A and B are shown apart, each in its own frame.
Chain A
Amino acid sequence: MDDLDTEPMLPPPIRRIEVDREPHVAPARPAPNGNGVAVAAPRPRNVRPPALGARERMSIDGVWLAYGENWVVRDVSLPVRQGEVLALIGASGSGKTTLLRSLNRLTEITAGAGRAGSITLDGQDIHEIEVNALRRRVTMVFQQPNPFPMSIFENVAYALREKPGGRRRGRRSQLEPAVREALRRAGLHDEVGEDLDRSALALSGGQQQRLCIARALAAEPEVLLLDEPCSALDPISTAVIEDLVIGLRESVAVVIVTHNLQQAFRVADHVAFMHLGELVEYGTSEEVFDHPIQRRTRDYISGAFG
Chain B
Amino acid sequence: MASVAAGERPTRPPAIVRPRREGTATWPLADRICHALCWAVGVGLCVITIAIVVFMLVKGITYLRPKLFIEHPAPAGPGAQAKSGGFLDPIVGTFIVTAIGIAIAAPAGIGLATWLNEYGRPRWLARTVESAIEMIAGVPSIVLAIFGLVIFSRPFLAFLSQPGATVALSQSFIIAGIMMSLLALPLVFTATRESLTQLPPRLREASYALGKTRATTIRRVLLPSPQMRTGMATGVVLGMGRIIGDTAILTILLGSTLKNEAVGHVPVWGTLRGTGSTLTSYIYNNSPAGEGGAPQKAYAAAFLLLMSVLVLNAAVTRLTGGQGGATRLTRIGRRALLTGVGGNG
Contacts and interface: CB of A to CB of B under 8 A. Distances in A.
Q: Do A and B bind each other?
A: yes
Interface string A9-50: 000000000000000000000001000000111110000000
B13 A164 contact: no
Contacts of B2: 42-43, 61-62, 75, 77
Contacts of B7: 32, 41
A37 to B, nearest CB: 13
Contacts of B3: 62
Nearest to B18: A114
A159 interface: no
Given A61-B2, A115-B19, A39 B9 contact: yes
B26 A116 contact: no
Interface residues of A, number: 28
A161 to B, nearest CB: 13
A117 interface: yes
B4 A42 contact: yes
A108 B21 contact: yes
A209 B13 CA distance: 37
B16 to A, nearest CB: 4
B135 interface: no
A277 to B, nearest CB: 12
Given A77-B2, A117-B13, A164 B28 contact: yes
A61 B1 contact: yes
Nearest to A112: B18
> Taking chain B's interface residues, is the majority helix, strand, or loop, or is none over half, making it mixed?
loop
Nearest to B6: A43
Interface in B1-52: 1-4, 6-10, 13-19, 21-22, 26, 28
B19 A116 contact: no
A272 B4 CA distance: 20
Nearest to B1: A61
Given A32-B7, A108-B19, A75 B26 contact: no
A32 B8 contact: yes
A131 interface: yes
Interface in B133-186: none
B10 A75 contact: yes
Contacts of A117: 13
Interface in A129-182: 130-132, 164
Interface of A: 32, 39-43, 61-62, 64, 66, 71, 74-75, 77, 105, 107-108, 112-117, 127, 130-132, 164
Which 5 interchain pairs have the tightest Cβ spacing? A116-B13, A64-B13, A62-B2, A108-B19, A114-B16
Interface of B: 1-4, 6-10, 13-19, 21-22, 26, 28
Given A62-B1, A117-B13, 14 more contacts: A32-B7, A41-B7, A43-B6, A62-B4, A66-B16, A75-B9, A77-B1, A105-B19, A108-B19, A115-B17, A115-B19, A116-B16, A130-B26, A131-B22
